[in-house]
């Protein structure tokens, strides 16, 4: 598949010490890739470097095989959707959308046709004559997305575009961005610190930490097979226990698991809450005491104290927890466990 965007050994450091070092990433044509990580990890630095709003210290950025490093933002085949909507309040939706096209000397009838089509795409048909103040936050963000789409960028950049919206609207906008991407075949680079957002919309996720890339993989792979302890801690909920390698097996108490990484000595075990099995006292496992059972809609979260190991949580079907109670002694075992070397 064609490489639409290629970032090669990108480095940008600030006087604070933050920034990115040696970032390399290829984005395929029509792919939606998400840069994910905590605040200060460098994801926005990468995005703004692609868009031309930051000058890297070193490295190369190619779009459709051509270097864009020396081009200002307005000359790059990119368009950015920011956290704020950045709409002109004194201009109608039509005029906000037409502005960029007029600068490009687009014909009047073509502008009208393009705006009508793009408003259909973002589910705002007939909103041309409204002013931003007459629109909700979600509608304003749709207009901001529409404005970027009209410029027909080779790469659409989205910098935490839904962070100002409430949870329900965020969910709706995620679905719409995915639909727009599917309909247009646009290449998109999306920045977020929200892992649920990243898991739900991405073709691939780039997990960043302290200016470096920890892992690049599909959402499924990132969730099921985190490469590093950081990714395991950052993506989804995870239980951590101390284990040890014995006879080339990862062991914790009487439980043992494969050791595909050929680790040795003491290890950190990572277990997803949905992979925790709660057994009766006669079964093999780690002896534990139930501390709390919380029903959370279609599933329940069970907090368990494992003497000598600490607390873990288990996600269980709602019907299964009817007979569980606080103070109950159980045995905990695991469907699978991932092991990482001790730091």
Say if CB 150 and CB 118 are below 8 A apart.
yes
- Rounded Cα distance, 326 and 309, in Å: 19
Q: Where are the beta strands (DSSP E) in the chain?
A: 3-13, 19-28, 32-36, 58-63, 66-67, 78-81, 155-159, 187-192, 204-209, 212-217, 239-246, 249-252, 255-257, 266-271, 276-279, 286-296, 299-306, 310-317, 329-334, 338-341
Place of tokens 């108490």: 253
User: DSSP character for 175?
Assistant: H
pLDDT recorded at residue 102: 81
CA distance 139 to 147: 12
Query: Is the CATH code 3.90.1150.10 the one for domain 237-341?
Result: no
Q: Which residues contact 226 (CB under 8 A, 6 or more apart)?
A: 215, 232, 235, 270, 338
Indicate the DSSP class of residue 104.
T
Which two structure tokens, joined as six digits, stand for 144? 């901001």
User: What are the start-end ranges of the H helices in the chain?
Assistant: 43-51, 93-103, 108-121, 137-150, 167-184, 195-201, 219-224, 229-234
| Token reading at 254 | 């009487």
Q: What is the pLDDT of residue 1?
A: 58
Count of C-beta atoms within a 10 Å radius of residue 266: 11
- Mark 201-233 as b/e (b = at least 16 C-beta within 10 Å): bbbbbbbbbbbebbbbbebeebbeebbebbbbe
pTM: 0.89
pLDDT at position 99 is 86
User: Which of helix, strand or coil describes residue 71?
Assistant: coil
pLDDT truncated to tens, each residue of the chain (343 aa)? 599 999 999 999 998 888 999 999 999 999 999 999 998 899 999 999 999 999 999 999 999 999 999 999 988 999 998 877 778 889 898 989 988 888 777 888 888 888 888 888 888 888 888 988 898 888 888 888 888 888 889 999 999 888 877 788 788 888 888 888 888 899 999 999 889 899 999 999 999 999 999 999 999 999 999 999 999 999 999 999 999 999 999 999 989 999 999 999 999 999 999 999 998 766 789 999 999 999 988 899 999 999 999 999 999 998 888 889 999 999 999 999 999 998 6
- Three-state DSSP class for residue 92: coil
d(C-alpha 138, C-alpha 154), whole Å? 25
CA distance 343 to 154: 42
Give the position of tokens 């950015």: 80
Question: How much is the pLDDT for 258?
Answer: 93
Give the count of beta carbons closer than 10 Å to the beta carbon of residue 62. Answer: 16
CATH number for the domain running over 3-230: 3.40.50.300
Could you tell me if 142 and 160 are in contact, meaning their C-beta atoms sit under 8 angstroms apart?
A: no
Residues of the chain with CATH 2.40.50.100: 237-341
The position carrying tokens 């409204």 is 130
Domain with CATH 3.40.50.300 in the chain: 3-230
């Amino acid at each position: 598949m064609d490489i639409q965007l290629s970032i090669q050994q990108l480095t940008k450091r600030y006087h604070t010490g933050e920034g990115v070092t040696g970032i390399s990433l290829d984005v395929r044509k029509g792919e939606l890739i998400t840069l994910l990580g905590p605040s200060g990890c460098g994801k926005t630095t990468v995005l703004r470097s692609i868009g031309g709003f930051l000058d890297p210290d070193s490295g190369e950025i190619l779009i459709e095989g051509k270097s864009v490093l020396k081009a200002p933002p307005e000359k790059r085949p990119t368009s950015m959707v920011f956290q704020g909507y950045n709409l002109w309040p004194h201009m109608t939706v039509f005029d906000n959308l037409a502005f960029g096209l007029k600068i490009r000397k687009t014909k009047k009838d073509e502008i009208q046709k393009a705006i009508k089509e793009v408003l259909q795409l973002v589910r705002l048909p007939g909103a041309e004559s409204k002013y931003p103040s007459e629109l909700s936050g979600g509608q304003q963000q749709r207009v901001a997305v529409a404005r970027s789409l009209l410029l027909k960028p080779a790469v659409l950049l989205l910098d935490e575009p839904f962070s100002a919206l409430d949870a329900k609207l965020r969910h709706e906008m995620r679905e719409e961005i995915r639909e727009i991407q599917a309909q247009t075949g646009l290449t998109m680079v999306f920045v977020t610190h929200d892992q649920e957002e990243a898991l739900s919309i991405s073709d691939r996720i780039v997990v960043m930490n302290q200016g470096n890339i920890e892992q690049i993989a599909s959402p499924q792979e990132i969730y099921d097979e985190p490469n590093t302890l950081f990714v395991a801690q950052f993506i989804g909920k995870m239980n951590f226990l101390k284990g040890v390698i014995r006879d080339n097996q990862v062991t914790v108490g009487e439980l043992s698991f494969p050791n595909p990484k050929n680790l040795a000595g003491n290890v950190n075990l990572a277990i997803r809450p949905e992979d925790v099995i709660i057994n009766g006292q006669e079964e093999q496992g780690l002896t534990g005491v139930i501390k709390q059972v919380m029903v959370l809609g279609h599933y329940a979260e069970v907090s368990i104290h494992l003497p000598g190991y600490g607390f873990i949580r288990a996600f269980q079907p709602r019907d299964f927890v009817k007979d569980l109670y606080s103070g109950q002694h159980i045995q905990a075992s695991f469907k699978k466990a991932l092991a990482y070397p001790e730091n």
